[in-house]
Chain A
Amino acid sequence: MTNEDLQNIIIGLGTDLEFTTEGSEFLNVIVPKEQLHSICSQLKSHPELKFDYAFCITGMDWVPALGVIYHLNSTELKHEIVVKVMVEDRENPTLDSVHDIWQTADFHELEIFDFFGIKFNNHPKLRRIFLTPEWEGFPLRKDYVDEANMIIK
């Protein structure tokens, strides 16, 4: 299915969706964070979309917004899209978990929580998976101060 066909279907799944292919090989869909879970579950269940394989889930700091990028693939229909969601609040960023849609999101959300501090509603057990529980700050944020001077010189 071409990107235009995909866009025509996806546009009906929610409101205020933005589409772009600029600077990317995939069709990018920018989703308002309130609609993230409902759109993701429709992306998986819609008979013409069937995005069942989330092959990459990336945390992102766009400054000032934080966010998550979902690379999705349909193993049956072979098409691919990218879903992006942004959250402006840097103090207490919260998004809905999609682990009940794609179970791989469970671990990827842990990773994003660890490095970006984004909390996920309904995640089964949100915890620091790589860093120690007492670690302060979220290292992959752009405003993280690397006091030990380990990485940024």
Chain B
Amino acid sequence: MTDQQTQNKIKTEEYFINMGPQHPAAHGVLRLILTIDGEIIKNVEPDLGYIHRSIEKMCERDSYQQIVHLTDRMDYLSSHINNEAVCLTVEKGLEIEVSDRVKVIRTIIDELTRIASHCLWWGVMGMDLGALTTYFYAFRDREMINDIFEETCGARLTMNYNVPGGLMFDIHPNFVKRTKDFITHFKTKIPEYDRLLTGNVIFQKRTKGVGILTREDAISFGVSGPTARGSGFSSDVRKHHPYSAYDLVNFKEILFTEGDTFARYQVRMMELWESVSIIEQLIDNIPEGETKAATKAVIKLPKGEFYQRVETARGELGVYINSTGNKNPYRVKFRSPGFSNLSVLNHISKDVLIGDLVATMASFDFVIPDIDR
């Protein structure tokens, strides 16, 4: 018998297997119910809620200043950007214009956050595909950013540096120098990242042509962020709806059209350079000015609906606040990038191997608390 005939004679049947909620490649408590035939995936059904904290319900209880602190715990790798999203929404409602100094500092820290997040993603993506070294390289550099944050905000991860109306306090005197030192250091490290992983033959074979997402599907499934830009969907909120100081800086929106895992990888790698460039444009020109506009101790938004979106390291975060004029919001909705990005996973993982699903998920850069909220 030929191999093909043998193959045809083997009886197979579909069965279910749990991937997670405790699985190293899920990067958190994400449970995927896989229907598989041999090692071929037939269906992926995510089962969420293992880290659901009901943040939207808690927001209805809390004041606007308190809500800011809850958002750190969604996408904890973009905590500063999440805080900013809520602050911008509240500022929009109160019609407060923050000073240029605040805008520039927020933008610099946004981009540092993005670099830190992409560093972690790069390290973990390598690790998911069996290249352990990347993790240590990335964490070495990420640590320097966390040190800068710690000096200025007092926290390394859940920063809470933004408040409605500005910043909690001014930047640390060392901030500018340390950021510049970091940028000088990091510019020598990105090429090292490329040498270590991007050109690796095994890595390329595991990522090229794997998990292909078309542009039409990306739009229809509401995919955003680097994941969407790997499919050629121009979705960068920083470009389309600029906030803070993004209208003052020049940067490219990185777009690839292949839509595979490798394209998503390349988008994030090139975004590192763009973030570096944005910081370089701003770091020497932080304008003088107040760091916090005057707000009342009890903030009451006028009656109405307020929507603000920002670009986190994972994509488009939308904050919808419905206010009836009280000190608590009537309804808050966080449109998290992870939740929408996850919805496309089943669609692009049909008839692929389990190992390819791991590669695809790594390139989506999921943070589970961002999905669950």
B-binding residues in A (CB < 8 A): 22-26, 52-61, 69, 71, 75, 78, 102-104, 106-108, 111, 115, 129-132, 139-140, 150-153
Contacts and interface: CB of A to CB of B under 8 A. Distances in A.
B219 A53 contact: yes
B221 interface: yes
Interface residues of B, number: 41
Given A106-B343, A107-B339, A107-B342, A24 B222 contact: no
Contacts of B339: 107-108, 111
Interface of B: 46-49, 52, 54, 56-58, 61, 217, 219-222, 224, 233-235, 240, 302-307, 309, 316, 318, 320, 322, 331, 333, 335, 339-340, 342-344, 347, 372
Contact of A103 (B49, B217, B307): B217
A22 B233 CA distance: 32
B343 A153 contact: no
A23 B303 contact: yes
A60 B331 contact: yes
A52 B216 CA distance: 9
**Chain A binding surface SS class:** loop
Contact of A55 (B47, B57, B58, B335): B335
B303 A54 contact: no
A78 B76 CA distance: 31
Given A26-B307, A104-B340, A107-B339, 17 more contacts: A22-B304, A55-B316, A56-B307, A61-B331, A75-B219, A75-B233, A102-B222, A103-B220, A103-B221, A107-B340, A107-B342, A129-B46, A129-B47, A130-B52, A130-B372, A132-B49, A140-B56
A86 to B, nearest CB: 14
Contacts of A59: 333
15 contacts: A55-B309, A56-B320, A56-B335, A59-B333, A60-B322, A71-B307, A75-B234, A75-B235, A103-B220, A103-B222, A106-B343, A130-B48, A139-B54, A139-B57, A140-B57
A24 B347 CA distance: 35
Contacts of B222: 53-55, 102-104
Given A25-B307, A151-B54, A129 B48 contact: yes
Contacts of A153: 61
Contacts of B233: 75
A70 B106 CA distance: 30
A71 B304 contact: no
Contacts of A71: 307, 318, 320, 335
Contacts of A22: 304
Contact of B49 (A57, A58, A130, A152): A130
Nearest to B305: A24
Contacts of B340: 104, 107-108
Contacts of B221: 103-104
A58 to B, nearest CB: 4
A60 B61 CA distance: 16
Nearest to B92: A25
Nearest to A105: B222
Contact of A52 (B220, B224, B234): B220
Contacts of A107: 339-340, 342-343
A52 B219 contact: yes
B320 A103 contact: no
A69 B304 CA distance: 14
A58 B320 contact: yes
A61 to B, nearest CB: 7
Nearest to B335: A56
Contacts of A150: 54
A104 B52 contact: no
Given A71-B307, A104-B222, A107-B342, A58 B217 contact: no
Nearest to B62: A151
A113 to B, nearest CB: 13
